[in-house]
Structure 1
Amino acid sequence: MTTTQGIRTVLHPVTDLAVAKAVYTALLGVSPQTDSPYYVGFEAEGQHIGLVPDNGKQQLANPVSYWHVTDIEAKVAEMIAAGATVRQAANEVGGGRLVATLADSDGNVLGLIQDR
Protein backbone atom coordinates (compact mmCIF):
# COMPACT_ATOMS: atom_id res chain seq x y z
CA MET A 1 0.00 0.00 0.00
CA THR A 2 1.33 3.45 -0.90
CA THR A 3 0.87 6.39 1.45
CA THR A 4 -0.16 9.95 0.66
CA GLN A 5 1.66 13.18 1.38
CA GLY A 6 -1.58 14.81 2.53
CA ILE A 7 -3.98 17.27 0.94
CA ARG A 8 -1.95 20.20 -0.35
CA THR A 9 -4.05 21.32 -3.32
CA VAL A 10 -7.70 22.37 -3.49
CA LEU A 11 -9.29 23.49 -6.77
CA HIS A 12 -12.43 25.62 -6.78
CA PRO A 13 -14.71 26.02 -9.81
CA VAL A 14 -15.65 29.66 -10.40
CA THR A 15 -17.98 31.44 -12.80
CA ASP A 16 -16.30 34.86 -12.70
CA LEU A 17 -12.53 34.43 -12.51
CA ALA A 18 -11.80 38.15 -11.94
CA VAL A 19 -14.17 38.44 -8.99
CA ALA A 20 -13.04 35.12 -7.51
CA LYS A 21 -9.39 36.18 -7.84
CA ALA A 22 -10.13 39.36 -5.85
CA VAL A 23 -12.01 37.44 -3.15
CA TYR A 24 -9.29 34.79 -2.73
CA THR A 25 -6.55 37.46 -2.76
CA ALA A 26 -8.36 39.18 0.11
CA LEU A 27 -8.89 35.88 1.95
CA LEU A 28 -5.35 34.56 1.58
CA GLY A 29 -3.50 37.87 1.82
CA VAL A 30 -1.23 37.02 -1.12
CA SER A 31 -1.27 37.70 -4.84
CA PRO A 32 -1.73 34.79 -7.25
CA GLN A 33 1.41 32.88 -8.17
CA THR A 34 -0.22 31.77 -11.44
CA ASP A 35 -2.59 34.16 -13.18
CA SER A 36 -4.02 33.20 -16.56
CA PRO A 37 -7.45 33.23 -18.24
CA TYR A 38 -7.82 29.49 -17.64
CA TYR A 39 -6.32 29.12 -14.13
CA VAL A 40 -5.42 31.27 -11.13
CA GLY A 41 -3.31 29.65 -8.42
CA PHE A 42 -2.24 30.83 -4.97
CA GLU A 43 0.43 29.47 -2.62
CA ALA A 44 -0.47 30.15 0.99
CA GLU A 45 0.92 28.48 4.12
CA GLY A 46 1.92 25.27 2.31
CA GLN A 47 -1.38 24.98 0.47
CA HIS A 48 -2.07 25.50 -3.22
CA ILE A 49 -5.49 27.01 -3.88
CA GLY A 50 -6.56 27.00 -7.52
CA LEU A 51 -9.45 28.75 -9.25
CA VAL A 52 -10.78 27.04 -12.38
CA PRO A 53 -13.30 28.79 -14.64
CA ASP A 54 -16.44 26.73 -15.24
CA ASN A 55 -15.36 26.11 -18.82
CA GLY A 56 -12.02 24.57 -17.74
CA LYS A 57 -11.07 21.08 -18.84
CA GLN A 58 -11.37 19.76 -15.27
CA GLN A 59 -15.17 20.22 -15.47
CA LEU A 60 -15.45 20.76 -11.72
CA ALA A 61 -18.91 21.03 -10.17
CA ASN A 62 -17.63 21.45 -6.60
CA PRO A 63 -14.28 22.10 -4.93
CA VAL A 64 -11.94 19.10 -5.14
CA SER A 65 -9.21 18.30 -2.63
CA TYR A 66 -6.11 16.72 -4.16
CA TRP A 67 -4.04 14.22 -2.19
CA HIS A 68 -0.37 14.29 -3.16
CA VAL A 69 1.13 10.84 -3.77
CA THR A 70 4.48 9.45 -4.88
CA ASP A 71 3.02 6.79 -7.23
CA ILE A 72 -0.28 7.83 -8.79
CA GLU A 73 -0.81 4.62 -10.80
CA ALA A 74 -0.32 2.44 -7.71
CA LYS A 75 -2.68 4.62 -5.66
CA VAL A 76 -5.34 4.57 -8.41
CA ALA A 77 -5.11 0.76 -8.57
CA GLU A 78 -5.43 0.47 -4.77
CA MET A 79 -8.45 2.75 -4.74
CA ILE A 80 -10.17 0.87 -7.59
CA ALA A 81 -9.58 -2.41 -5.76
CA ALA A 82 -11.22 -0.86 -2.70
CA GLY A 83 -14.32 0.21 -4.66
CA ALA A 84 -13.54 3.66 -6.09
CA THR A 85 -14.30 4.49 -9.72
CA VAL A 86 -12.15 6.54 -12.07
CA ARG A 87 -13.60 9.87 -13.19
CA GLN A 88 -10.47 11.09 -14.98
CA ALA A 89 -7.50 8.79 -15.57
CA ALA A 90 -4.04 10.02 -14.64
CA ASN A 91 -2.77 12.52 -17.20
CA GLU A 92 0.00 15.08 -17.35
CA VAL A 93 -1.11 18.67 -16.90
CA GLY A 94 2.29 20.28 -17.42
CA GLY A 95 5.64 20.43 -15.73
CA GLY A 96 5.67 16.68 -15.14
CA ARG A 97 2.62 16.85 -12.86
CA LEU A 98 0.17 13.95 -13.12
CA VAL A 99 -3.43 14.41 -11.99
CA ALA A 100 -6.31 11.93 -11.64
CA THR A 101 -9.76 12.02 -10.06
CA LEU A 102 -11.77 9.15 -8.65
CA ALA A 103 -15.12 8.88 -6.89
CA ASP A 104 -15.83 7.00 -3.69
CA SER A 105 -18.92 4.82 -3.32
CA ASP A 106 -21.02 7.89 -2.46
CA GLY A 107 -19.87 9.88 -5.48
CA ASN A 108 -17.48 12.17 -3.58
CA VAL A 109 -14.65 13.24 -5.87
CA LEU A 110 -11.11 12.50 -4.68
CA GLY A 111 -8.17 14.06 -6.50
CA LEU A 112 -4.64 12.69 -6.75
CA ILE A 113 -1.47 14.55 -7.77
CA GLN A 114 2.00 13.20 -8.44
CA ASP A 115 4.88 15.57 -9.09
CA ARG A 116 7.79 14.04 -10.96
Structure 2
Amino acid sequence: MALTKTQGVKTVIFPVQDMERAKALFRALMGPPDQDSPYYVGYTFGDQNIGLTPSQDRKGAAGPACYWAVDDIRASLQALLDAGAELVQDVRHVGGTREIASVKDAEGNEIGLTHDG
Protein backbone atom coordinates (compact mmCIF):
# COMPACT_ATOMS: atom_id res chain seq x y z
CA MET A 1 0.00 0.00 0.00
CA ALA A 2 1.27 3.46 -0.92
CA LEU A 3 2.16 5.70 2.01
CA THR A 4 1.23 8.92 0.20
CA LYS A 5 -1.29 9.83 -2.45
CA THR A 6 -0.26 10.33 -6.05
CA GLN A 7 -2.11 11.64 -9.09
CA GLY A 8 0.15 9.59 -11.37
CA VAL A 9 2.86 10.70 -13.75
CA LYS A 10 2.22 14.33 -14.69
CA THR A 11 5.64 15.44 -15.93
CA VAL A 12 8.24 13.83 -18.18
CA ILE A 13 11.65 15.50 -18.42
CA PHE A 14 13.95 14.83 -21.39
CA PRO A 15 17.68 15.61 -21.07
CA VAL A 16 18.95 17.24 -24.26
CA GLN A 17 22.40 18.18 -25.55
CA ASP A 18 21.20 20.68 -28.17
CA MET A 19 18.28 22.71 -26.80
CA GLU A 20 17.48 24.50 -30.08
CA ARG A 21 17.37 21.24 -32.04
CA ALA A 22 15.17 19.63 -29.37
CA LYS A 23 12.84 22.64 -29.26
CA ALA A 24 12.35 22.43 -33.04
CA LEU A 25 11.39 18.77 -32.80
CA PHE A 26 8.99 19.25 -29.87
CA ARG A 27 7.53 22.39 -31.49
CA ALA A 28 6.59 20.26 -34.52
CA LEU A 29 4.73 17.90 -32.17
CA MET A 30 3.26 20.26 -29.57
CA GLY A 31 3.51 23.82 -30.89
CA PRO A 32 5.41 26.61 -29.15
CA PRO A 33 6.56 26.04 -25.57
CA ASP A 34 4.68 27.50 -22.62
CA GLN A 35 7.94 28.13 -20.78
CA ASP A 36 11.24 28.85 -22.53
CA SER A 37 14.48 29.50 -20.64
CA PRO A 38 18.08 28.28 -20.97
CA TYR A 39 17.60 25.75 -18.13
CA TYR A 40 14.04 24.53 -18.85
CA VAL A 41 11.68 24.48 -21.82
CA GLY A 42 8.19 23.30 -20.98
CA TYR A 43 5.15 22.22 -22.97
CA THR A 44 1.68 21.59 -21.55
CA PHE A 45 -0.74 19.14 -23.11
CA GLY A 46 -3.91 18.88 -21.02
CA ASP A 47 -2.65 18.12 -17.52
CA GLN A 48 0.59 16.58 -18.84
CA ASN A 49 3.86 18.54 -18.72
CA ILE A 50 6.76 17.77 -21.03
CA GLY A 51 10.08 19.41 -20.19
CA LEU A 52 13.49 19.72 -21.81
CA THR A 53 16.57 20.33 -19.65
CA PRO A 54 20.25 20.56 -20.56
CA SER A 55 21.68 17.05 -20.19
CA GLN A 56 24.49 18.24 -17.88
CA ASP A 57 21.81 19.29 -15.35
CA ARG A 58 20.64 15.67 -15.06
CA LYS A 59 23.90 14.37 -13.52
CA GLY A 60 24.53 11.60 -16.03
CA ALA A 61 20.94 10.44 -16.56
CA ALA A 62 20.63 9.02 -20.06
CA GLY A 63 16.89 8.96 -20.66
CA PRO A 64 13.70 10.76 -19.76
CA ALA A 65 12.60 10.94 -16.13
CA CYS A 66 8.97 10.63 -15.10
CA TYR A 67 7.81 12.88 -12.30
CA TRP A 68 4.96 11.64 -10.13
CA ALA A 69 2.59 14.30 -8.80
CA VAL A 70 2.21 13.69 -5.06
CA ASP A 71 0.22 15.26 -2.24
CA ASP A 72 3.15 15.32 0.22
CA ILE A 73 6.53 15.53 -1.49
CA ARG A 74 8.61 15.23 1.68
CA ALA A 75 6.76 12.13 2.93
CA SER A 76 6.90 10.56 -0.55
CA LEU A 77 10.63 11.25 -0.84
CA GLN A 78 11.28 9.78 2.59
CA ALA A 79 9.22 6.67 1.75
CA LEU A 80 11.36 6.11 -1.37
CA LEU A 81 14.60 6.63 0.56
CA ASP A 82 13.42 4.25 3.28
CA ALA A 83 12.71 1.68 0.56
CA GLY A 84 16.33 1.87 -0.65
CA ALA A 85 16.30 4.64 -3.27
CA GLU A 86 19.36 6.89 -3.66
CA LEU A 87 18.83 10.66 -3.38
CA VAL A 88 19.55 12.56 -6.60
CA GLN A 89 17.89 15.91 -5.83
CA ASP A 90 16.42 16.91 -2.48
CA VAL A 91 13.17 18.90 -2.42
CA ARG A 92 13.60 22.31 -4.04
CA HIS A 93 11.35 25.06 -5.36
CA VAL A 94 11.51 25.52 -9.13
CA GLY A 95 9.07 28.36 -9.66
CA GLY A 96 5.71 29.46 -8.40
CA THR A 97 4.50 26.90 -5.89
CA ARG A 98 6.09 23.89 -7.60
CA GLU A 99 8.56 21.70 -5.73
CA ILE A 100 10.52 18.80 -7.19
CA ALA A 101 12.77 16.03 -5.90
CA SER A 102 14.28 12.92 -7.45
CA VAL A 103 15.85 9.59 -6.56
CA LYS A 104 17.41 6.63 -8.36
CA ASP A 105 16.02 3.16 -7.91
CA ALA A 106 18.18 0.04 -7.49
CA GLU A 107 18.50 -0.25 -11.29
CA GLY A 108 19.68 3.35 -11.71
CA ASN A 109 16.38 4.68 -13.11
CA GLU A 110 15.49 8.19 -12.06
CA ILE A 111 12.14 8.66 -10.32
CA GLY A 112 10.95 12.23 -9.92
CA LEU A 113 8.40 13.72 -7.56
CA THR A 114 6.52 16.98 -8.03
CA HIS A 115 4.13 18.91 -5.84
CA ASP A 116 2.18 22.07 -6.61
CA GLY A 117 1.36 23.73 -3.30
TM-score between both structures, scaled by the size of structure 1 = 0.89
Look up the SS of the partner of 1:114 in the other structure. Answer: strand
Structure 1, 44-53 or 105-114: larger mean CA deviation: 44-53
Cα offset, 1:55, TM superposition: 4.0
Q: What's 1:91 paired with?
A: 92
Q: Does 1:26 align with 2:47?
A: no
Q: Secondary structure at the match of 1:80?
A: helix
Normalised by the length of structure 2, the TM-score is 0.88
Q: Distance in 1 between matches of 2:14 and 2:96?
A: 21
Q: Deviations over 1:23-68 (max 9, x none)?
A: 011122x211011222211011321111112344x44432111000
C-alpha distance in 1 between matches for 2:40 and 2:89:
19
Q: Distance in 2 between matches of 1:37 and 1:103?
A: 25
Equivalent residue for 1:8?
A: 10
Over the residues paired in the alignment, what is the CA RMSD in angstroms?
Answer: 1.4
**Partner residue, 2:45:** 44
**Alignment pair present for 1:81 and 2:82:** yes
Specify every segment of 5 or more residues in structure 1 that has no aligned partner in the other structure, as ranges: none
| Paired residue secondary structure (2:50) | strand
Measure, in 2, the Cα distance between the counterparts of 1:81 and 1:55. Answer: 28
Runs (4 or more) in structure 1 with deviation over 6 Å come to none
Percent identity between the aligned chains?
44
Q: Distance in 2 between matches of 1:76 and 1:54?
A: 23
